[in-house]
Each structure stands twice: as structure tokens, then as C-alpha cells.
Structure 1
Amino acid sequence: MTFPVHPADLFRHGLQLLLDKNIPAWIDLWADNGVIEFPFAPEGWPERLDGKAAIADYMRHHPDHIDLHDFPSVAIHQTSDPDTIVIEMRGTGRLVKSDAPFDMPYIAVVTIENGLITHYRDYWNPLAIPQDGAADFTRSVR
């Protein structure tokens, strides 16, 4: 399969894969040495994942815990580096075990080189997780 090369197109394609719960195809968007950073990770949660294998392990059971329904707002901003974009978005859905609503704002800084994601800095807000669903969510991200 050929993936879009423009960073915004690749990122939007990745969002659709997450909505489709196609985690293996989403992982295929990553370079082998890709990195995810979580600057606001609470204590005990991962702050950084190094490499495609670690990212795949982290995401493997994501759909079992978070049922994403939509990304109702996505704004992608180009930076002075043509390979790096800044994304403001909101993901909605539900936490699977508790059936609590999931409504998460995100800001991400993403770098894509040679058609693959090499770096993803995810500024999600752990305080936005509903308290009755927090335990289920934390199992999906540890």
C-alpha cells in the first residue's frame, strides 16, 4: 500500500485508521526508529516510547479500552519545517468497560520523513479522563 507523503495527508489517514480500529495499519505509518513523547504524562505512565515495536505494544489493545467515534475538530498547521506539523484536535467516543464518554482535546507536534512518522509529541490532558473511567483508560496506556 502506498501512503500519502504530505504530512497533513498522512496524519489524516492515520486518524481514519484509528477510527477504523486498524491499529496494525496505523503502526505501519511509523518509521522503525519512531518516537512518541507524552510531556504531560502522569506519574507511572510512559513519558516516551522509542521505536516502532514499543509503539505497537503501547497501542495493541487501545480499541479494547477506548472506542473512538470521531475527531470532530482537526486543525493542522504547517511549520517552517515542511516535515513538521502542529495539530489541534478533539477525539470523542467512549471508554469501553465503564461506557463513560470520552472527549479529549489534543495538541500534537508531528514530524514525518520519507512518508513515515518519525516523531510525535502528544500534549493530551490526563485530567480530562472521567474519574469513573480513569482506571480503564490507564490500563490502555501503560
Structure 2
Amino acid sequence: MPTQKPTALDITHRFLEASSRGAYDELADLYAEDAVIEIPFAPPGVPSTSQGREVFRARFKSAEKTWRIEGADQISIHQTTDPEVVVAEYTLHRRLRESGERVSGRYIMVMTIRDGLIRHSRDYADVIAGARAMGRLQELIGDGSL
């Protein structure tokens, strides 16, 4: 009997489960080798577009130096009229390694998933919560002049 490929919804559930545990290798393995992540509102120092599973793996793992993942909740998954596109909303809870402060941030991801792999993701995050916790809020908002 042939093995059925996981659906976009299956991969979304795997993504959220791995994210909530900080399982960075598992997370990276869910992406296609040439996948693209866009972060339209990327904070300073974070690329607004990146490509490649191994690039993501290195970026995910570099976050381990800054924080420890403590779980995710308030999860909503929305299927779209396109069976390859799923929208996931969730709150990710982390603890900063240096200060021990708990940081929670809301995320929205629009993922295109084909043949059991994430091909493209557009990620929206609560960058203010992270900048505030890391003492970088002023850097995020700049001097206020336009």
C-alpha cells in the first residue's frame, strides 16, 4: 500500500509542535531545500528575506544562545481555498537566557506547503515584545523622526 504524503495541515501541526519544543532541527527539516522565508516587518539585524533550509537551521539554532522555548498556545490554524496555503496564528513563550525574563510573542505565518514541505512562508511577529525584553526597543523605533 503506497504511503500517503502529509497534507499542508499535517505539516502545519508538525511545525507548531516542533516550534513549541524548540526542536530546531525538526523545524528546519520541514522546509524545502530552497524554501523562502519573508519577514515583512523584520527588526534590525534580521533579514527580511532568506532562502534555504540550512540557512534557516543555522538561524533557528543561533536563537538558542538568546532564549529557551517554553511552549506555544493560543493556536489557530486557518485553511484557505488553496489546499497548499495555511495560515497559523500562535503565541510562543520563551525565556531569555541572560536575564531569565519570560517573553511571549504573537505570530502569524502564511505558509505554502507542497509535497510535504514548506516552500514559502511569510512571517509576522510581535517584534515590540522581543525588543522590549531585550532592551532594544529604542533601536527598533529609532529616534522618532520621519
TM-score using structure 1 length? 0.83
Query: For the pair shown, which has the larger CA radius of gyration, 1 or 2?
Result: 2
Identity of aligned residues (%): 30
- Shift in alpha-carbon separation, 1:79–1:13, aligned structure 2, 3 A: same
- The equivalent of 2:139 in structure 1 is none
**Structure 1: tracts of 5 or more residues without a match:** 136-142
Contact 1:101 1:130 (8 Å CA) reproduced: no
Root-mean-square deviation (CA, aligned residues, Å) is 2.1
**Structure 2: tracts of 5 or more residues without a match:** 137-146
Between Structure 1 and Structure 2, how many residues are aligned?
A: 134
Q: Which amino acid letter does the alignment assign opposite residue 27 of structure 1? A: A
- The equivalent of 2:38 in structure 1 is 37
Q: Which amino acid letter does the alignment assign opposite residue 113 of structure 1? A: R
Q: Which amino acid letter does the alignment assign opposite residue 110 of structure 1? A: M
Give 1:66 deviation, angstroms.
Answer: 2.2
- Shift in alpha-carbon separation, 1:67–1:100, aligned structure 2, 3 A: same
1:84 counterpart = 2:68: no
CA–CA distance in structure 2, aligned partners of residues 97 and 3 of structure 1 = 44
TM-score using structure 2 length? 0.81
Give 1:114 deviation, angstroms.
Answer: 0.2
Contact 2:20 2:92 (8 Å CA) reproduced: no
